[in-house]
């Protein structure tokens, strides 16, 4: 069972999310918060698997709340949801440590998939945001809070040839099934490669792996 904390300052929005989540046998809502301050407190108390986090709220906003929840070092992962399809919000959310960013007009199936992906330790970004977000901000994203430097080169050097190929594919936005088809591998083998890559480069999740691929020049914004 995947547990959630819903954070939004609009009661009707929280109710809608709760109804959707609780329609699924494998998902459960532990609580609701209407401010960033409440979200930080309740995440510490309830330790949900996933926090559905709004961005714009009175007082502490969702970006700062995300930063504090992640900095606390608990088990919760944050999926940011916003009405506003803005690159700056997505950028700020990922910098704060969020594992995903979706707009609220996403289809219900997309939101449910996002919750499950984030709970499983991967990351998700609204498809229409991914390319332009990385094109615009790739050179500003650090891995583990560090700028691209000699340490990044050292991390890249420890990858095997196959791992570099898989990392390049991740950087181009390919999913595991696409990578498996391209390199004639089983998806389980791809998952193993991805796990080893994340560990070797010090990336928290797939989003940071994409960022790392851009920062080290494996992938460029023009897709080459």
**Do residues 125 and 207 make contact, with C-beta atoms less than 8 angstroms apart?**
yes
- The alpha carbon torsion through 141, 93, 85, 175 (nearest 10 deg) reads 70
All CATH 1.10.10.10 domain ranges in the chain, comma separated = 141-215
Mean pLDDT within 26-33: 97
Confidence grade of residue 211 (pLDDT, cut at 50, 70, 90): confident
**What pLDDT is stored for residue 88 in this prediction?**
72
As a whole number of angstroms, the distance between CA 113 and CA 93 comes to 19
- Say what the pTM is: 0.70
The percentage of the chain sitting over the pLDDT mark of 70, rounded to a whole number, equals: 84
All CATH 3.40.50.2300 domain ranges in the chain, comma separated = 2-136
The count of residues in the chain is 224
151 has pLDDT over 90: no
As a whole number of angstroms, the distance between CA 52 and CA 64 comes to 14
CATH number of 141-215: 1.10.10.10
Specify which residues 27 forms β-bridges with. Answer: 2
**What pLDDT is stored for residue 139 in this prediction?**
54
**What pLDDT is stored for residue 147 in this prediction?**
44
User: Chain-wide mean pLDDT for the chain?
Assistant: 84
Radius of gyration in angstroms for the set of CA atoms belonging to the chain, rounded to a whole number: 17
CATH number of 2-136: 3.40.50.2300
């Amino acid at each position: 069972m995947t547990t959630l904390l819903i954070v939004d300052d609009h009661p009707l929005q929280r109710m809608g999310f709760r109804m959707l989540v609780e329609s699924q046998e494998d998902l459960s809502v532990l609580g609701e918060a209407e401010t960033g301050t409440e979200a930080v407190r309740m995440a510490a108390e309830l330790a949900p698997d996933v926090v559905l986090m709004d961005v714009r709220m009175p007082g502490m906003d969702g970006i700062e709340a995300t930063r504090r929840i992640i900095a606390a070092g608990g088990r919760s992962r944050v999926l940011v949801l916003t009405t506003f399809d803005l690159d700056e919000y997505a950028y700020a959310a990922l910098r704060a440590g969020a594992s995903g960013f979706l707009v609220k007009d996403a289809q219900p199936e997309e939101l449910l998939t996002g919750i499950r992906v984030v709970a499983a330790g991967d990351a998700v970004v609204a498809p229409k945001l991914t390319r332009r977000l990385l094109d615009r901000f790739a050179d500003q994203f650090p891995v583990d809070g560090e700028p691209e430097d000699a340490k990044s080169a050292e991390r890249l050097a420890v990858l095997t040839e196959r791992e570099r190929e898989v990392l390049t594919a991740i950087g181009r936005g390919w999913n595991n099934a696409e990578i498996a088809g391209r390199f004639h591998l089983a998806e389980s083998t791809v998952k193993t490669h991805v796990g080893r890559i994340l560990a070797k480069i010090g990336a928290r999740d797939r989003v940071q792996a994409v960022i790392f691929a851009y920062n080290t020049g494996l992938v460029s914004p023009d897709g080459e």
